[in-house]
Amino acid sequence: MAKMCPKCRSKEIDLYMGGNFGQYQCNKCGYVGALVLEEETEKKPKRFKL
């Protein structure tokens, strides 16, 4: 899964300080935090037939 910045939705996310703090840093907008979005690379269409 690709990590995405929750602020600007950029995929240029790296571990902040080498991941020592369990946080991520966005290279695009400068966001730093533990919360990141994860984009599923595989599309799993869920279709419910009633």
Task: Write the single-letter amino acid at 39.
Answer: E
Rank residues 19 and 29 by Cβ distance to Zn ion and give the closer one.
29
Give CA angle at 19 (16, 22), nearest 5°: 95
Residue 16 near residue 28, CB atoms below 8 Å = no
Please select the residue that binds Zn ion; options are 7, 16, 23, 33, rule is CB under 5 A: 7
- Which of 10, 23 has the CB closer to Zn ion? 10
Q: Work out whether 35 is an interface residue with Zn ion (CB under 5 A).
A: no
Q: Does 5 bind Zn ion (CB under 5 A)?
A: yes
Is residue 29 involved in binding Zn ion (CB under 5 A)? Answer: yes
> How crowded is residue 31: how many other Cβ atoms within 10 Å of its Cβ?
19
